[in-house]
Amino acid sequence: MSGPVRYASVDSPVGPLLLTADGEDGRLTSLSVPGQKNGRTVQEGWLHTPDLFRAAGEQLAAYFGGELKEFELELRSEGSEFRERVWGALGSVPYGETTTYGAIAARIGASRAAVRAVGGAIGANPLLIVRPCHRVIGADGSLTGYAGGLERKTVLLSLEGVL
């Protein structure tokens, strides 16, 4: 990381989205919503740099407008090797489809016993929406936890035509 955290806020149908990047390269490090479990909030010393997030804002607007199905953004996250594998698997879940925690575990070669750890990694995803953890549901088809709240998960899955 270099320099202060840079941020911008983007309006969306699920509330204001807080976008952050560490350094000047513009790689997105988080996308948070108000009240999100472990979400980020603007801190003293952060730099408001909306121009840095123009492409992200445009892609998010296109996504919410039903015109974009796959984000093409530079992302950077920091997690354990296990979490990075889980987060990588999230990125392969196609728009308009859902998967389960068990399927994510299998996709990364984790044991069936690792499903709880997979759930923890998914819950710690710092890049909501662009890394689509909202597409992960319970094995019984239930809408299980979502760090941004189940009402937002419902909106996102409805937008994608799943619900």
Mean pLDDT of 55-66: 97
What is the pLDDT, as a whole number, of residue 112? 83
pTM equals 0.92
Q: Is the pLDDT of residue 58 over 50?
A: yes
Active site residue 133: yes
Mean pLDDT of 10-37: 93
Q: Is 131 helix (H, G, I), strand (E, B) or coil?
A: coil
Residue 121 region, left (φ>0) first, then alpha (ψ -120 to 50), else beta? Answer: alpha
For helices 81-90 and 115-123, angle between their N-to-C axes, nearest 10 degrees:
80
Task: Give CA separation, 115 vs 79, 87, 124, 140, in Å.
Answer: 18, 14, 14, 14
Report pLDDT digits (tens) over 33-45. 999 988 999 999 9
Q: Which of 5-9, 76-80, 82-86 has the lowest mean pLDDT?
A: 76-80
Please report which confidence band the pLDDT of residue 2 belongs to, taking 50, 70 and 90 as the band edges: low
In degrees, rounded to 5, the angle at the alpha carbon of residue 129 between the alpha carbons of residues 73 and 9 is 75
What is the pLDDT, as a whole number, of residue 49? 96
Mean pLDDT of 45-66: 96
Report pLDDT digits (tens) over 134-160. 999 999 999 988 999 999 999 999 999
- The CA distance from 126 to 77, in Å, is 7
Please report which confidence band the pLDDT of residue 6 belongs to, taking 50, 70 and 90 as the band edges: very high
Please report which confidence band the pLDDT of residue 1 belongs to, taking 50, 70 and 90 as the band edges: very low
Contact 74, 26 (CB under 8 A): yes
Residue tagged active-site, from 133, 155, 157, 159: 133
Q: Is the pLDDT of residue 24 over 80?
A: no
What is the pLDDT, as a whole number, of residue 22? 85
